[in-house]
Structure 1
Amino acid sequence: MDELAQFPSKCDPKHARKKTSDKSTWKRSTEQRKRYESKGLPKFPNCNHNQKAFRCAKLICQDVRRLSVCDNRENHQEKEVVTSPAEYVSVLEENATVTDLSKIALYDWKKGYENIIKPTTSWNFPFMKTKRFFLTRTKSENILVQGEIHYKSEINTKSLITKNKKNRHATTRGDSSEQYFAKQRKSERCDQTA
């Protein structure tokens, strides 16, 4: 009876039917090992503080490792106070491409599309009360708009918002005759903030 009550023991992994995969050779685990392995001994800070608050002279190697002092302090040092927008620009130029907005031509798109798009009062739904908008582009490059007052319903139909015999390409930024520049005062305000 004791022989029947015996439970099978675990099989040796070499003789098992199902192969066990060695996770240590996987790409993910090798990259993780590389990421967390040490790149060398930690570098001690170049200061001789010996007061109660800062005891840099008495730091041990483990403390320096925990503090994770950066090699390039100039790159990671944060400015405490930024006094002018020019300082923001200099910080951003180190890490990204900065475009001066005062040198870009300003267009008044509302005035440019005034002759093409119907006023919102003549659309087939109340514009101010609308909570959801559905925009659909047709093959003829026109845009159909459907506006819904309620979140859970789709009652209205899609319709054109352009005037008769007009499409959205009737005005372009490139046409010198159709350019509508914004007021000079607006560009002066951009210059003041920069």
Structure 2
Amino acid sequence: MTLSAHIRKVYQGVADRRQMFRLFDRHAQRPNRWQGDDSPLYRGEWFETDKSQHDYMFEILPPLFMRGDMFALREFLTGSIASVFYRLRIDGQVRHFHAYCDLSQPRSPAETRDGIVERESWPVKAMTHEERLEHIWSSTHDDYRGYAGERWPAADRGKRTVRVYGRGRADLKLLDDLTDEEIAAKLPVHLRHLPAKAAA
């Protein structure tokens, strides 16, 4: 199976409770929030959490459904997008994950599960360029990230921005336009030197 482009890892490492709740709405600052269909922003986003967070979320409300290695929260985030939590055995180790699945597509939870297993089964620890950008976005404080507004060219408005530092000044820059050096500077030290892997 080739990873679907919409199934994407948005945080490297295991999210603790504080980080998990931040990741639940990585797009909280988006312009015109709730005025359109926000489903594409969330569909397919996933990250790893730990057993205690998995169990905590299971106990909050009765799940919408339970299927072996997964359960879905009863409340929908937007449209048909819901939180699905997984308990998966990967390379002999039990691990826990959260993903946003489109429940209007019956195969979405299973396809997302398969995508997570495929991604986490890579024989070499690596990150794609897209995963580096998503990790930067996920781990940057709200005060230092945002969306291009009216001061930006029309073609760039609404795109994600982050604050970068250099030569004694700080500037906003489009997330997608970060150079390799800027990406390395924004990643934690333990992630900077991971080999790059092309997205499938």
Q: Same fold (TM over 0.5)?
A: no
Higher strand content, 1 or 2: 2
Name the TM-score class by shorter chain.
Answer: under 0.3
| TM value normalised by structure 2 | 0.20
Max radius of gyration: which structure?
1
